């Protein structure tokens, strides 16, 4: 039994409960933190039942998870399908099933079921992830099926959590390039939209487009350098094609690095010209000219795009001619990157209104304290006002006086920041990091693939929740409504996280010793 | 079972490094948010902390005998919180407050249209309810959820008297706020009288309590149980030197007349009464009606808002002769035995200053007693023409001016009331300019009898009386006798000596005594005490002003008084009897029956003033 993890679990629950007290305690009332009419009181019920649940899981035979993984998964899928029909409409979401006085969120329980099922599938005899697109796609099916069902419940935040399974897949052999491509795509969208409305070079060019194209250039150049170093096998395989490929590789890399440099130079010159008017009459006359309209009277993104497309086509040709297909893959990456980016605006239009606003607020496109950015700003004020040592238990003013919305659930970390200060909140982050690293350690010491894969799923899910939730509160991530494990108020999420963790502990406890 | 691929082992480090890196970035972000800037803390404070000012009680004001003149009365504002006041019996509420339904509806609509309106916070529903109205309502308050009481205080005046001295308070002007950051919009500040001149002492020091305000603007309690709250420090009480009964009598006597009475206790410089007529009732200058009332008073052609005692500039007339006698004696121009001829006036080189018929030539004392114009004209002529003492007329003039200034003329005396005027004592440059250097004692001869360019305030005339009573010194007149727990300004405790000696003052006292016993002020004579006095009949564009300056008793004087009745005719007509009554009231504490009758007669005498510009 891994008592360290259980200790971390209990500590996090305790601090979490204190934060709930801070968040729901109302000034002017005698604080009765244990009354069931208050959220702090109810959270005690949830904590108690969670611990009970954890104990039950530890007492059960470890083999049932392996054995019944698919059945559990199927049951949960059925529940997810049924949920929108059974659920009440809570803030536009159809994910809550009412059972007696309690409401349960089926999405929270689908995570461990998915983890079990995918672990069972990937640990089946002869399973190979590397080099098997079929297996990879089946894994994707395991991930995307519950995800789609949850999106149908209008719980986009919970659905996005399923992307975290790709971290586990990466550990299990999924090509790093897929992960890289995914992260790159997110970077394009974020950077592109963040600076989309900023014009440079005399209003001809969008800064966002220019920046993203430059990033693609650099990425492609980096991929070329890393993945196309001439190997002896290539040299043997190729005749004169090799010489051409290697020569082109160098030209290409140089071009790819030079074009963004050129763009940066032009922008720099443009900026300088806009600021030299005051120096002397000569510079003033020169500054009358505008780089964008007089010297570069077209969209500066255009030449970068042309260069990139031309080079990509040439790369594909060389790749096929020389049978070094890596060239073609890199070209595909380049073209795919552009495709992803240029459809970003369209993608944004297809998001729900509040999600679009959330993305825009996060990227700083909307700066309106009383509008959609209000949550984020108030959250940062609350945290920032905590200082080094915080205001003390139940002494936070921002959270107590309801300036931060959703403060018991998604924005619970504000209370930690305000009441416990830098010391407390950094310590909480440290505890989470400790838990995550401990999970990696537990996963790596498993002797079964099932155990390792499952625990990596748990690690990935926790990592995603912590990174997104805390990042959101700190204003570094989009406002995606997902709970902070063990902190956010609510029975479903706490039970969900407890089940995830304790199954991992049960599996770990029963690992066959070599 | 698939074996773990050993070549993928490095990926566990990638994942661990990624998790560590993200957490590190977040800790860094926490660091910048929480430790590098106070900005967030300040914003949190301005969000959640509300500083509520607690107003101190303004100091009370009493007269010299402890009679309460000004105090604070509790008044009650009724506040309403709209979203709590949803379920009330409107009819019952209207009945309890004595308002009708229409007023209620209109007021509620008004509240909703006010700037900064919030349905979660207290809004002013009705202001300044009296204690009776309030106690009536308070019994039923529990029936009206959402209605609250807020205690305030308003200034109350016990009597209609002494409006000019007491002054009033009103909301601060933007200029006041700019001058003193202590004030905030909506605060009250003294506007006139001692309310203004002792504003610093009366106002006290505001306190504050820091309250917690939630996102909807509701007050949720005290910040840290009031650890940072500051109790207000109440204002200091003032004891005026004014005798309310004397003031009352003065205001009665000045009824229907324009002018001023100022009485001073010579030994202390305390002003015993300061009447400026017409006056106003300070009780009308309170609360919401103040603005309207002030406007009406400001528009009155008789200018009741002006305190004539300190801001009225008048020719002192013959009362000024006392100061001339002192100057000439001190400068050695005359001795008490010096005689000057008077043949119905001063006749010299075609210049004539008239005088009434009396024996001639007389020495100084009877000349003061009969108020001989010629005597003082000769005196000035000899002084200004004296080339043994002075090289030039200018030098003589300067010397003369120095005497006048030493007696408190020509500059503000420094009374503790706002709006004092300095009067006018001409100097050599003044005449050099006016006559282009070509002038002599004869040119300016009328200044010797308190006419011409010389202008004094009634306070300066009264102070002249006090100086003579003291035989050569005075303490700057002041209306505040005591400030609670605070010493008076040394200006009001130190003697200021004039340039004339006590011996010379004694001569003038003799003259003033003779004026009462056998001269112009005979009607002021009484067997109760020895009165000294000097009349004045000041010529001006209209009918002569009636002036009196005197003090009593002659030895160990208790009161010096100046009376100035505009267009009142001879000094003996109004000045002398009014001055006599004031002295009697103060010295005896009451009037005899005969005096009562006299007072009534004077009170009922009304002088018809034209509407010409004054």
Residues 6+ apart with CB under 8 A from B564: B259, B260, B261, B308, B312, B314, B458, B461, B545, B546, B547, B575
Residue B295 lies in a domain: no
Indicate whether B183 pLDDT > 90.
no
Residue A276 is predicted with a pLDDT of 64
Q: What is the pLDDT of residue A287?
A: 58
> What's phi and psi for B382, nearest 5 deg?
-70, -35
Q: Is A459 on the interface with B (CB under 8 A)?
A: yes
Q: Is the peptide bond before B278 cis (omega within 30 degrees of 0)?
A: yes
Query: Is the pLDDT score of B512 beyond 80?
Result: yes
The pLDDT-based confidence of B6 (bands split at 50, 70, 90) is confident
Cβ-nearest to A171 among B12, B34, B41: B12
**More confident site: A318 or A362:** A318
Mean of all residue pLDDT scores within chain A: 81
Task: Check residue B464 and give its pLDDT.
Answer: 93
pLDDT interval class at B2 (50, 70, 90): very low
Chain-chain contact of B30 with A383 (C-beta, under 8 angstroms): yes
Residue A290 predicted with pLDDT over 60? no
Contacts of A448 (CB under 8 A, 6+ apart): A123, A507, A511, A512, B1
Residues A114, A119, A121: CA angle, nearest 5 degrees: 95
Full DSSP string of A85-144: HH-EEETTEEEEEEETTEEEEHHHHHHHHHHHHHHHHHTSTT---TT-HHHHHHHHHHHH
Q: What percent of chain A has pLDDT over 90?
A: 31
- Flag whether B431 is in a domain: yes
Helix ranges, A87-132 (H): 106-122
CB interface of A with B, residues 125-184, below 8 Å: 125-128, 130, 167, 170-173
Q: Which of the two residues, B128 and B517, has the higher pLDDT score?
A: B517
- According to the per-residue pLDDT averaged within each range, which of A164-173, A386-395, B358-367 is highest? A164-173
Measured in angstroms, the CA of A290 and the nearest CA of chain B are apart by 39
| One domain, residues B497 and B538 | yes
Banded model confidence at residue A232, pLDDT cuts 50, 70, 90: low
Indicate if the pLDDT at residue A181 is higher than 90.
no
Q: Does the residue B525 lie in any domain?
A: yes
- The Cβ of residue A475 has, within 10 Å, a number of other Cβ atoms equal to 19
Fill in the DSSP letter of residue B167. Answer: -
Instruction: Tell me the CATH number at B219.
Output: 3.90.1310.10
Among residues B153, B188, B215, which one ends one of the domains? B153
Q: Residue B169: which pLDDT band, with cuts at 50, 70 and 90?
A: confident
In-domain check, residue B554: yes
Residues B101 and B219 in one domain: no
A384 to chain B, any CB pair closer than 8 A? The answer is yes
Cβ(B393)–Cβ(B383) under 8 Å? no
B277 confidence band (pLDDT: 50, 70, 90): confident
Q: Are residues B168 and B134 in the same domain?
A: no
- Nearest 5°: the CA angle A248, A251, A252 is 80
Q: Determine, yes or no, domain membership for B25.
A: no
Q: What is the pLDDT of residue A294?
A: 60
Give the domain extent around B127: 73-153
Among the residue ranges A121-125, B428-432, B537-541, the one predicted with the least confidence is B537-541
CB contact under 8 A, A380 and B216: no
Among residues B493, B491, B487, the alpha carbon closest in space to that of B420 is found at B491
Q: pLDDT averaged over chain B?
A: 85
**In the 8-state DSSP scheme, what is residue B385?**
T
Global pTM? Answer: 0.61
Is B432 domain-assigned?
yes
How does strand B238-240 pair with strand B61-62?
Answer: parallel
What local confidence, expressed as pLDDT, does residue B4 receive?
60
**pLDDT at residue number A86:** 79
| Domain contains B179 | yes
- Residue among B8, B22, B39 whose CB faces A173 most closely: B8
- pLDDT above 70: percentage of residues in chain B: 96
Mutate to test the interface with A, among B5, B18, B27, B30 (most CBs of A within 10 A): B30
Which among A123, A386, A398 has CB closest to B48?
A398
**Average pLDDT for residues A339-358, to the nearest whole number?**
72
Same domain, yes or no: B213 and B332: no
Asked if the structure places residue B33 within a domain, the reply is no
For B353-371, how does the pLDDT look when each residue is reduced to its tens digit (9 = 90+)? 888 777 778 898 988 888 8
**B73 vs B331, which has greater pLDDT?**
B331
Nearest to A277 by CA among A262, A292, A290, A263: A290
pLDDT at A223 over 70: yes
Question: Smallest Cα–Cα separation from B255: which of B584, B582, B565?
Answer: B565
pLDDT at B57 over 80: yes
Is B547 found in the same domain as B525? yes
Task: Give the pLDDT confidence score for residue B248 in this predicted structure.
Answer: 92
- B320 in the same domain as B184: no
DSSP at A34: T
Partners of A386 on chain B (C-beta within 8 Å) are 34
Asked if residue A51 has pLDDT above 90, the reply is yes
**Chain B within 8 Å of A449 (Cβ-Cβ)?**
yes
Do B172 and B248 fall into the same domain?
no
Q: B451-465 pLDDT, tens per residue?
A: 888 999 999 999 999
Confidence category of residue A371, pLDDT binned at 50, 70, 90? low
- Give the pLDDT of residue A29: 55
Q: Which two tokens stand for residue B343?
A: 């043949």
Please give the Cα distance from B336 to B328 (Å, whole number).
Answer: 10
Chain A to chain B Cβ contacts (< 8 Å): 142
Q: Which of B135, B153, B171 is the last residue of a domain?
A: B153
Q: Average pLDDT of B251-261?
A: 91
Question: How many domains are there within chain B?
Answer: 3
> Of the spans A288-292, B152-156, B224-228, which averages the highest pLDDT?
B152-156
Residue A469 burial class via C-beta count within 10 angstroms: exposed 0-12, middle 13-18, buried 19 and up:
buried
Nearest to B451 by CA among B573, B540, B512: B540
Question: Is residue A459 exposed (0-12), middle (13-18) or buried (19+ Cβ within 10 Å)?
Answer: buried
Q: Which two tokens stand for residue A462?
A: 């926790």
Kindly determine whether residue A476 and residue B48, on different chains, have CB atoms separated by under 8 Å. Answer: no
A459-500 confidence digits (pLDDT tens): 999 999 999 999 988 888 777 778 999 999 988 999 999 999
- Reply yes or no on whether the pLDDT at B30 is more than 70: yes
B487-508 average pLDDT score: 90
Asked if B473 and B551 sit in the same domain, the reply is: yes
How would you classify residue B287: left for phi > 0, otherwise alpha for psi between -120 and 50, otherwise beta?
left
User: Among residues of chain B, what percentage have pLDDT more than 90?
Assistant: 31
Q: Token pair for residue A45?
A: 């019920």
Nearest CB to B33; choose among A26, A383, A452: A383
| Top-confidence residue, B261 or B5 | B261
Q: Check residue B586 and give its pLDDT.
A: 92
Closest-CA residue of chain B to A434: B20
Whether B139 and B210 map to the same domain: the answer is no
Q: Provide, as residue numbers in chain B, all residues whose Cβ is less than 8 Å from the Cβ of A448.
A: 1
Tokens of B76: 């009650």
Q: Which chain B residues contact residue A425 at CB under 8 A?
A: 30, 34
Residues 6+ apart with CB under 8 A from B576: B520, B521, B523, B524, B533, B535, B548, B563
Query: In this structure, what token pair is assigned to residue B606?
Result: 């009304």
Which sequence spans correspond to the domains of chain A?
A: 3-180+365-509, 197-354
Among residues B153, B181, B201, which one ends one of the domains? B153
The ipTM value here is 0.84
What pLDDT score was predicted for residue B28?
Answer: 93
Does residue A32 register a pLDDT over 80? no
Q: Which chain A residues are within 8 Å of B216, Cβ to Cβ?
A: 402
């Amino acid at each position: 039994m891994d008592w360290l993890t259980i200790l971390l679990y209990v500590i996090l629950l305790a601090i979490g409960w204190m934060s709930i007290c801070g968040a729901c305690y109302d000034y002017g009332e005698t604080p009765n933190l244990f009354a069931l009419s208050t959220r702090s009181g109810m959270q005690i019920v949830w904590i108690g039942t969670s611990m009970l649940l954890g104990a039950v899981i530890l007492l059960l035979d470890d083999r049932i998870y392996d054995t019944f993984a698919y059945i559990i998964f199927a049951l949960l899928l059925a529940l997810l399908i049924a949920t929108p029909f059974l659920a009440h409409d809570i803030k536009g979401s159809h994910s809550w099933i009412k059972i007696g006085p309690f409401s349960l969120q089926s999405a929270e329980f689908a995570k461990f079921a998915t983890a079990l099922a995918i672990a069972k599938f990937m640990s089946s005899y002869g399973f190979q992830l590397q080099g098997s697109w079929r297996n990879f796609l089946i894994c994707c099916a395991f991930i995307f099926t519950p995800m789609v069902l949850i999106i149908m419940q209008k719980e986009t935040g919970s659905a996005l959590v399923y992307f975290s399974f790709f971290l586990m897949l990466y550990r299990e052999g999924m090509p790093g390039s897929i992960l890289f491509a995914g992260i790159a795509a997110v970077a394009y969208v974020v950077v592109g939209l963040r600076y989309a409305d900023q014009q440079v070079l005399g209003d001809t060019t969008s800064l966002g487009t220019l920046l993203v194209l430059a990033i693609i250039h650099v990425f492609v150049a980096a991929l070329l350098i890393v993945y196309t170093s001439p190997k002896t096998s290539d040299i043997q395989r190729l005749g004169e094609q090799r010489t051409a490929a290697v020569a082109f590789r160098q030209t290409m890399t140089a071009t790819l690095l030079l074009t963004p440099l050129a763009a940066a130079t032009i922008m720099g010159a443009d900026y300088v010209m806009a600021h030299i008017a005051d120096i002397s009459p000569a510079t003033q006359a020169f500054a009358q000219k505008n780089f964008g309209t007089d010297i570069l009277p077209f969209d500066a993104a255009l030449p970068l795009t042309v260069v990139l497309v031309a080079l990509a086509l040439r790369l594909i040709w060389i790749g096929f001619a020389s049978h070094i297909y890596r060239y073609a893959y890199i070209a595909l990456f380049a073209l795919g990157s552009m495709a992803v980016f240029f459809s970003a605006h369209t993608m944004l239009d297809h998001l729900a209104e509040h999600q679009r606003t959330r993305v825009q607020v996060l990227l700083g496109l909307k700066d309106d304290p009383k509008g959609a950015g209000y949550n984020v700003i108030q959250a940062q004020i609350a945290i920032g006002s905590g200082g080094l040592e915080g205001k003390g238990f139940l002494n936070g003013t921002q959270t107590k006086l309801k300036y931060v919305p959703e403060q018991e659930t998604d924005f619970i970390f504000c209370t930690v920041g305000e009441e416990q200060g830098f010391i407390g909140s950094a310590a909480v982050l440290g505890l989470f990091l400790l838990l995550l690293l401990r999970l990696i350690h537990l996963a790596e010491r498993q002797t079964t693939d099932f155990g390792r894969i499952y625990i990596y799923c748990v690690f990935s899910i926790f990592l995603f929740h912590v990174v997104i939730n805390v990042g959101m509160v700190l204003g570094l991530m989009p406002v995606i409504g997902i709970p902070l494990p063990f902190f956010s108020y609510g029975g479903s999420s706490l039970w969900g996280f407890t089940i995830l963790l304790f199954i991992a502990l049960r599996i770990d406890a029963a690992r066959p010793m070599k | 079972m698939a074996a773990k691929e050993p070549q993928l082992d490095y990926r566990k480090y990638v994942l661990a490094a990624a998790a560590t890196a993200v957490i590190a970035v977040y800790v860094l972000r926490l660091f910048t948010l929480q430790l590098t800037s106070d900005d967030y803390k300040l914003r949190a404070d301005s969000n959640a902390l509300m500083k509520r000012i607690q107003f101190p009680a303004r100091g009370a004001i009493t007269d010299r005998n402890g009679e309460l003149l000004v105090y604070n009365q509790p008044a009650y504002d009724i506040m309403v919180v709209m979203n709590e006041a949803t379920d009330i019996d409107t009819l019952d509420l209207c009945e309890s407050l004595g308002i009708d339904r229409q007023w209620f509806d209109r007021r509620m609509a008004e509240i909703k249209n006010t700037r900064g309106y919030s349905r979660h916070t207290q809004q002013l529903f009705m202001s300044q309810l009296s204690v009776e109205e309030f106690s009536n309502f308070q019994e039923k308050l529990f029936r009206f959820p959402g209605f609250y009481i807020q205690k305030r205080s308003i200034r109350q005046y016990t009597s209609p008297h002494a409006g000019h001295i007491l002054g009033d308070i009103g909301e601060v002007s933007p200029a006041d706020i700019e001058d003193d950051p202590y004030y905030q919009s909506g605060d009250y500040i003294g506007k006139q009288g001692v309310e203004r001149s002792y504003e610093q002492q009366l106002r006290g020091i505001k306190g504050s309590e820091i309250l917690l305000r939630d996102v909807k603007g509701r007050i949720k309690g005290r910040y840290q149980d009031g650890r940072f709250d500051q109790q207000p420090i109440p204002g200091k009480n003032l004891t005026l030197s004014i005798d309310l009964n004397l003031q009352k009598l003065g205001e009665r006597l000045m009824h229907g007349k324009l002018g001023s009475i100022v009485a001073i206790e010579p030994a202390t410089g305390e002003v015993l009464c300061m009447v400026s007529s017409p006056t106003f009732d300070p009780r009308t200058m309170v609360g919401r009606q103040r603005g309207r009332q002030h406007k009406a008073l400001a528009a009155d052609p008789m200018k009741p808002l002006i305190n004539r005692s300190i801001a009225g500039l008048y020719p002192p007339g013959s009362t000024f002769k006392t100061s001339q006698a002192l100057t000439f004696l001190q400068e050695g121009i005359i001795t008490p035995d010096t005689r000057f001829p008077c043949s119905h006036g001063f006749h010299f080189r075609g210049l004539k200053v008239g005088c009434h018929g009396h024996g001639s030539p007389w020495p100084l004392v009877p000349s003061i007693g009969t108020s001989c114009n010629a005597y003082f004209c000769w005196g000035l002529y000899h002084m200004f023409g004296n080339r043994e003492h002075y090289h030039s007329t200018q030098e003589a003039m300067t010397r003369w001016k120095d005497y006048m200034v030493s007696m408190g003329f020509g500059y503000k005396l420094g009374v503790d009331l706002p709006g004092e005027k300095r009067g006018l004592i001409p100097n050599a440059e003044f005449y050099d300019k006016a006559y282009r250097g070509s002038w002599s004692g004869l040119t300016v001869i009328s200044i010797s009898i308190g006419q011409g360019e010389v202008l004094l305030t009634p306070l300066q005339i009264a102070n002249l009386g006090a100086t003579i009573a003291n035989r050569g010194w005075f303490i700057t007149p002041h209306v505040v006798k005591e400030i609670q727990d605070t010493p008076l300004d040394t200006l009001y405790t130190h003697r200021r000596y004039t340039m004339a000696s006590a011996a010379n003052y004694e001569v003038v006292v003799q003259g003033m005594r003779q004026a009462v016993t056998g001269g112009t002020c005979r009607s002021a004579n009484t067997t109760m005490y020895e009165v000294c006095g000097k009349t004045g009949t000041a010529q001006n564009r209209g009918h002569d002003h009636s002036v009196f300056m005197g003090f009593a008793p002659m030895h160990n004087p208790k009161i010096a008084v100046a009376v100035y009745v505009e267009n009142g005719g001879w000094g003996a007509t109004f000045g002398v009897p009014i001055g006599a009554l004031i002295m009697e009231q103060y010295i005896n504490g009451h009037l005899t029956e005969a005096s009562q009758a006299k007072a009534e007669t004077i009170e009922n005498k009304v002088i018809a003033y034209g509407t010409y510009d004054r």
